[in-house]
Amino acid sequence: MTFRKVLVANRGEIARRIMRTCRAMGLETVAVCSEADQRALHVREADEAVVIGPAPSVDSYLRMDRIIDAALCTGAGAIHPGYGFLSENEAFARAVGQAGLVFVGPTPEAIAAMGSKIAAKRLMAASGVPVVPGYDGGDDAAGQGDEAFVAAAAQVGFPLLVKASAGGGGKGMRVVRRLEDLPAALATARREAKAAFGDDRLLVERYLQNPRHIEVQILGDAAGNVVHLFERECSIQRRHQKILEEAPSPMVDAALRQRIGEAAALAGRVIGYRSAGTVEFVAQRAADGSAEFFFLEVNTRLQVEHPVTELVTGLDLVRLQLEVAMGRPLPFTQGELTLRGHAIEARLYAEDADKDFLPQTGVLADFHIAPGEGLRVDSGVQTGDEVGIHYDPMLAKIIAWGADRGEANRRLARALRAASVQGVTTNLAFLRRVLAHPAWEAGDITTHFIADHAETLRPASPDRARAARIATLQRVVALDAERREVGGVLPGLPLGWRNNRFADPEVRWESGGETFAVGYRVLGAGRILTRSGGVEVEVELLGRDDAGDASSLVVRVGDAILRPRLVTRGESLWVHLPGEDVALTAVPRFVTAEKVKDVGSCRAPMPGKVIAVRVAVGEAVTVNQPLVVLEAMKMEHALDAPTDGTIAEVLVQPGDIVQADQELVRLQPATA
């Protein structure tokens, strides 16, 4: 079972993470990539790389045959699947073994045992692991029909959770609070489950009102030894997907830790688990302090959030996976494992948190996360990379360790405040707000945290006027440098000199739907007097450090000395200050005619595929009524009517591929 070369059947940050440990162990690495990823970081860092197909994952990262062929052609002895894609695919694990290669993960039998949530719950219940009450859909087609689920719902009670039997990540999952909403939820969940996992079987279970998502890392070897590496809390979620994780959990005391850890290890032994895996539970505490927990599922792979466990145990889970795959026994027993400090991970996504976390695309004009004490960054992108529609929108994980939860939180909050990610809308500002929220700081969290605190998590308006003054200084300094470099008709003429001494030059900036006119007067080299909104403020450049399109400045704005990071791309400019990012666009002096969008248009917010059209020409609709369902970045997005009106034209049909800002439906707005 020895091997010297590992093919990593994944992309992005997890591929880079696995390769890092392989290099430390002296193992050679092979990357696979789609045509869209040929210049990606994980490809550059591998010893060898193989292109396995076009951009869509179904034609590349999900092609078992091409991945196995790539391993055989390059002489790799093992395949590490990472997470997602084929990592929990029993057929892939089996095919890898049949090809004479080592699958770095659990056995196909263990994957099969946990691949169906229905079968997994039955097995765990029979083994004494507590499970959430529910209905698993039975063993035949009738049991999976709407009538059977409606009948079962009356027994389970509302609210209930509809879940896909295969897979996870929030796909095929819907919370249902009323019986009349169940059929639509079942239909949507089936579509998502079929598209994501090739299996549309569902189950329903009781939906706990104030649950916390607690998961336990387990590790097993081929000799049957299974240990747990303590718990993680993953309660901060949107769309049933995690965005913040920590270890240990603030709600788990020593007694509960022992109980839930023993249950997780038992689950691993029941299925003969080998390699790293995670047993997920939902838990809650009663008013009297007693705690209960229920089995959810086993993720038969490495988890996205594995770094927090590594930081509090001092272990390298990828190394342990590789050693177990080589046939080595676990190098420790349960009693030798201890917790050290606290770790928190934040997932940085390309998504708009202020628009229902809608995934975003674009080119990263800046990707800068400064190093810090106790800080770890696992990323798959760099400045200049394009974020497309074909893959998950996660860009990076920022993880902080501290002696206790407070220190870990402060370190992570500081790192997020200092981070500059520009060009693509991300959830960075939202993560900053969560970490500063009193309920989060107190550890008073549930899986409903975001919904419960929606009002207090709303964004505060940044100081756009101040950013416009700084941007104006940057432009004046750049113009001065250009003038000095190329000369001019009157090279000795001071910058900003005008033949009309009563009229100062002006720069106009657009930001957040507002226009900021900044007049300025040059007072000296790198020093201007700005006037905006009737207020005069002196702005001076005290120092700068340029790197490509980014500049780290030291400026004085009035009496305040600031250290902004500025990024320029054409007429766009981003000003980053700790905890604040402002995007600005220079407004041309002579404005050309712009396209005026029809107020009655329903447009695609991003590239994607039309899954369903819910209206027809001539139909009367009301504001916020669903018109079109778009699939993008592995999720369905309902696009609503922007106003009351009548459908004048339907411009797409199911199956169409559409681009960002493409008009899908045209309405005739209702007259007042």
Distance CA 160, CA 134 (A): 9
Cβ atoms < 10 Å from Cβ of 254 = 7
Supply the Cα-derived Rg of the chain in whole angstroms. 28
Q: Name the segment(s) of the chain with CATH classification 3.30.470.20.
A: 213-237+247-452
User: At residue 594, does pLDDT exceed 50?
Assistant: no
User: Could you report the per-residue pLDDT of 396-407, keeping only the tens digit for each?
Assistant: 999 999 999 999
β-pairing, 601-603 with 663-669? antiparallel
Structure tokens at 623: 């504001």
List the single range of 261-265, 448-452, 464-468, 639-643 with lowest mean pLDDT: 639-643
HEC per residue, 513-563: CEEEEEEEEEEECCEEEEEECCEEEEEEEEEEEEECCEEEEEEEECCEEEC
Structure tokens at 465: 């006027």
CB contact set of 69 (below 8 Å; sequence gap of 6+) = none
User: At residue 549, does pLDDT exceed 90?
Assistant: no
The rounded mean pLDDT for the chain is 92
Peptide bond into 307 cis (omega under 30): no
User: Could you report the per-residue pLDDT of 524-546, keeping only the tens digit for each?
Assistant: 989 999 999 999 999 999 999 99
Distance CA 434, CA 430 (A): 6
pLDDT of residue 479: 86
pLDDT of residue 547: 86
pLDDT of residue 598: 55
pLDDT of residue 54: 96
pLDDT range class, residue 5, cuts 50, 70, 90: very high
For residue 544, the cross-strand partners are 553
The larger pLDDT score, comparing residue 165 to residue 278, is at 278
Distance CA 388, CA 396 (A): 15
Query: Which of these, 122, 123, 127, lies nearest to 137 by C-alpha position?
Result: 122
List the single range of 8-17, 164-173, 199-208, 319-328 with lowest mean pLDDT: 164-173
User: At residue 489, does pLDDT exceed 50?
Assistant: no
User: Could you report the per-residue pLDDT of 351-389, keeping only the tens digit for each?
Assistant: 999 988 989 999 999 999 999 999 999 999 999 999 988
pLDDT of residue 633: 66
User: At residue 503, does pLDDT exceed 80?
Assistant: no
pLDDT of residue 548: 82
List the single range of 61-70, 133-142, 153-162 with lowest mean pLDDT: 133-142
Q: Name the segment(s) of the chain with CATH classification 3.30.700.30.
A: 464-486+502-586
pLDDT range class, residue 167, cuts 50, 70, 90: low
- The fold of the 601-669 domain, in CATH, is OB fold (Dihydrolipoamide Acetyltransferase, E2P) (2.40.50)
pTM of this prediction? 0.84
User: At residue 486, does pLDDT exceed 80?
Assistant: no
Superfamily (CATH) of domain 213-237+247-452: ATP-grasp fold, B domain (3.30.470.20)
Q: Name the segment(s) of the chain with CATH classification 3.30.1490.20.
A: 133-206
List the single range of 112-116, 169-173, 215-219 with lowest mean pLDDT: 169-173
The larger pLDDT score, comparing residue 619 to residue 1, is at 619
User: At residue 60, does pLDDT exceed 90?
Assistant: yes
User: At residue 422, does pLDDT exceed 50?
Assistant: yes
List the single range of 8-17, 43-52, 237-246 with lowest mean pLDDT: 237-246
pLDDT of residue 177: 93
Cβ atoms < 10 Å from Cβ of 570 = 9
Structure tokens at 229: 């590496």
pLDDT of residue 285: 87
Determine what percent of the chain is predicted with pLDDT higher than 70. 94
Structure tokens at 133: 């009450």
Question: Which residues are designated catalytic?
Answer: 301
User: At residue 83, does pLDDT exceed 90?
Assistant: yes
At residue 575, the 3 state secondary structure works out as strand
Query: Which of these, 285, 328, 651, lies nearest to 444 by C-alpha position?
Result: 285
User: At residue 343, does pLDDT exceed 50?
Assistant: yes
Structure tokens at 119: 């079968």
Please give the angle made by the CA atoms of 430, 11 and 196, to the nearest 5 degrees.
75
pLDDT range class, residue 442, cuts 50, 70, 90: very high
Q: Name the segment(s) of the chain with CATH classification 3.40.50.20.
A: 5-104
| Average pLDDT of the residues in 551-571 | 96
Domain 464-486+502-586 CATH assignment equals 1.10.150.120: no
Query: Which of these, 657, 660, 661, lies nearest to 56 by C-alpha position?
Result: 657
pLDDT range class, residue 96, cuts 50, 70, 90: very high
User: Could you report the per-residue pLDDT of 289-304, keeping only the tens digit for each?
Assistant: 889 999 999 999 999 9
pLDDT of residue 487: 56
CB contact set of 531 (below 8 Å; sequence gap of 6+) = 504, 518, 519, 520, 521, 537
Phi, psi of 258 (to 5 degrees): -65, -45
pLDDT range class, residue 490, cuts 50, 70, 90: very low
pLDDT range class, residue 172, cuts 50, 70, 90: confident
- The distance between the two most distant Cα atoms of the chain, rounded to a whole number of Å, is 90
List the single range of 67-76, 476-485, 625-634 with lowest mean pLDDT: 476-485
Q: How far is CA 480 from CA 46, 497, 587, in A?
A: 44, 12, 20
- Count H helices, E strands: the chain? 16, 40
User: At residue 179, does pLDDT exceed 90?
Assistant: yes
User: At residue 56, does pLDDT exceed 80?
Assistant: yes
Could you name the CATH architecture of 133-206?
A: 2-Layer Sandwich (3.30)
pLDDT range class, residue 634, cuts 50, 70, 90: low
Q: What CATH number has the domain spanning 5-104?
A: 3.40.50.20
User: At residue 497, does pLDDT exceed 60?
Assistant: no
DSSP code of residue 62 = T
